[in-house]
C-alpha cells in the first residue's frame, strides 16, 4: 500500500488576479513534514511549510489546535501569507526603501517583531522551567489551597421533583386547590413524576417528569429553594409552596451536604494558575529591568517640545463653535 504524503501546492496566477488554489494530499500523512515544502507560490514569492507553522504560532493557543480542521481557513491563511510576501518582495525590489521615512517605518516594524520573538522565548523558557520544577510549585499550590479553603467550598445541594400550577394559567385560588388535590393523590401512592408530565405547567416536565437535578439554594426562586431545602428525608413531600411562578408541590429526591473540594480535585487548576503567574512574573521582570535600567536617560527638553500646548480658553471656544445649534 502506498503511504500517503503531503503534496506540494502550486499557485499559478497573474498579478493582481488570483487563480484557484488547489490543496492536494492527505491530512493524515504518515511521513514527517518537510519544512521546506512549498505550499503556495507565484512569480513573486512562495510560502513554505515552516513559514505556515510559524504563522500558526501567532494564533491564540486556545484556537491554534483546531485551526487546521477547516480547509477554507487553511487556504485563506495561505493566500493572505502569499499576498503579504508578494507585496514585501515588490517593496524590496523597487526604490521604496530609498525614502528615509520608509526606512524608519521598516526599522520600527523589525524592532517590534524582534521584541515579540524575544518575549515569546522568555515565556517559553519560563514555562519549561516551571514544568521541570513542578514539584516545588505544586507544594506552593497546596499551601494556597490550605489557606484559602473557603474558595473551594461547595454549598449543600438537593435534587427534587416538582409540579407547577402557574398563576398565569390559573387564579391563585384555583392553583392552590389543584395543588392540594394533586398532593392528596401523591400521598395516596400516585407517582409525582407521572403526575408532573400530565399536570405540570412547567414546559420541561414533559421531558423530565418534573425532576430537577442537584442545585444550590441560590440557583432557584427563594420560596421554592427554602421549601426544597427544608425537606428532611428523601421522599418527603412539601405542602403547596407559592413562588413567583405559582404553586408547587416538591418532593426531595436527594441531598449532597456542603463540603470543601479536596486538593486533588483542584490541583491541576491551581498548578495551571501558578504556571501562568510564574510566566507573567518572568515576562514582567524582563520589562522592568529595561524600564528601570540606571543607564536610561530622558532628554526632557526634547520630550517637552513634543507636547502640544493647549490654551484652555481657546479650546473651550473651539468646542463651543462646533456644537450643534
Q: What are the tens digits of pLDDT across the range 94-121?
A: 888 889 999 999 999 999 999 999 999 9
Asked whether the beta carbons of 271 and 134 are under 8 A apart, the reply is yes
Which range (27-41, 76-90, 158-172, 258-272) has the least confidence? Answer: 27-41
Q: What is the pLDDT of residue 321?
A: 79
Q: Span 216-224, mean pLDDT?
A: 97
C-alpha cell at 148: 484559602
Percent pLDDT > 90 in the chain is 80
Which range (15-29, 70-84, 92-106, 252-266) has the least confidence? Answer: 15-29
Say if pTM beats, i.e. exceeds, 0.85.
no
Q: What is the pLDDT of residue 313?
A: 84
| Residue of 137 and 64 predicted with greater confidence | 137
Taking 70 as the threshold, does the pLDDT of residue 28 lie above it?
A: no
Tell me where in the chain the CATH 3.10.50.40 domain(s) lie.
Answer: 156-257
Percent pLDDT > 70 in the chain is 90
Taking 80 as the threshold, does the pLDDT of residue 25 lie above it?
A: no
Q: Span 6-35, mean pLDDT?
A: 48
Asked whether the beta carbons of 34 and 5 are under 8 A apart, the reply is no
Q: Span 289-304, mean pLDDT?
A: 95
C-alpha cell at 198: 400530565
Taking 60 as the threshold, does the pLDDT of residue 24 lie above it?
A: no
Taking 60 as the threshold, does the pLDDT of residue 22 lie above it?
A: no
The mean pLDDT value of the chain amounts to 89
Topology at the third CATH level for domain 156-257: Chitinase A; domain 3 (3.10.50)
- Predicted confidence band at 15 (pLDDT cuts at 50, 70, 90)? very low
Taking 90 as the threshold, does the pLDDT of residue 187 lie above it?
A: yes
- Predicted confidence band at 6 (pLDDT cuts at 50, 70, 90)? very low
Taking 90 as the threshold, does the pLDDT of residue 208 lie above it?
A: yes
Asked whether the beta carbons of 246 and 199 are under 8 A apart, the reply is no
Q: Span 130-150, mean pLDDT?
A: 96
Taking 50 as the threshold, does the pLDDT of residue 190 lie above it?
A: yes
Q: Up-side HSE of residue 211: CA atoms within 13 Å toward CB? A: 11
Q: CA geometry: angle at 109 spanning 104 and 115, to 5°? A: 125
Q: Span 172-180, mean pLDDT?
A: 97
Return d(Cα 103, Cα 109) in angstroms, integer: 10
C-alpha cell at 210: 418534573
Q: What is the pLDDT of residue 191?
A: 97
Q: What is the pLDDT of residue 325?
A: 66
Amino acid at each position: 500500500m502506498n503511504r500517503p504524503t503531503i503534496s506540494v501546492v502550486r499557485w499559478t496566477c497573474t498579478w493582481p488576479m488570483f487563480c484557484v488554489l488547489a490543496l492536494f494530499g492527505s491530512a493524515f500523512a504518515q511521513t514527517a513534514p518537510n519544512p521546506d515544502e512549498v505550499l503556495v507560490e507565484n512569480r513573486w514569492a512562495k510560502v513554505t511549510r515552516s513559514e505556515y507553522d510559524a504563522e500558526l504560532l501567532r494564533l491564540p493557543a486556545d484556537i491554534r489546535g483546531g485551526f487546521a480542521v477547516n480547509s477554507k481557513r487553511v487556504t485563506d491563511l495561505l493566500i493572505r501569507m502569499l499576498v503579504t510576501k508578494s507585496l514585501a518582495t515588490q517593496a524590496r525590489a523597487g526604490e521604496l526603501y530609498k525614502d528615509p521615512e520608509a526606512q524608519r517605518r521598516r526599522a520600527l516594524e523589525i524592532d517590534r517583531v524582534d521584541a515579540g520573538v524575544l518575549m515569546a522565548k522568555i515565556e517559553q523558557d519560563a514555562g519549561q522551567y516551571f514544568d521541570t520544577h513542578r514539584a516545588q510549585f505544586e507544594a506552593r499550590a497546596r499551601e494556597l489551597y490550605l489557606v484559602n479553603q473557603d474558595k473551594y467550598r461547595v454549598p449543600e445541594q438537593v435534587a427534587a421533583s416538582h409540579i407547577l400550577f402557574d398563576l398565569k394559567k390559573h387564579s391563585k385560588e384555583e392553583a392552590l386547590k389543584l395543588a392540594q388535590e394533586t398532593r392528596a393523590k401523591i400521598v395516596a401512592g400516585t407517582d409525582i413524576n407521572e403526575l408532573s408530565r400530565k399536570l405540570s405547567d412547567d414546559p420541561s416536565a414533559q421531558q423530565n417528569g418534573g425532576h430537577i437535578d442537584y442545585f444550590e439554594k441560590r440557583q432557584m426562586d427563594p420560596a421554592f429553594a427554602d421549601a426544597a431545602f427544608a425537606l428532611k428525608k428523601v421522599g418527603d413531600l412539601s405542602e403547596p409552596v407559592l413562588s413567583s411562578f405559582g404553586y408547587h408541590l416538591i418532593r426531595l429526591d436527594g441531598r449532597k451536604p456542603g463540603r470543601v473540594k479536596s486538593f486533588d480535585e483542584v490541583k491541576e487548576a491551581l498548578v495551571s494558575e501558578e504556571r501562568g503567574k510564574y510566566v507573567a512574573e518572568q515576562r514582567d521582570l524582563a520589562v522592568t529591568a529595561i524600564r528601570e535600567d540606571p543607564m536610561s536617560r530622558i532628554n526632557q527638553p526634547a520630550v517637552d517640545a513634543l507636547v502640544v500646548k493647549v490654551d484652555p480658553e481657546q479650546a473651550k471656544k473651539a468646542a463651543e463653535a462646533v456644537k450643534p445649534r
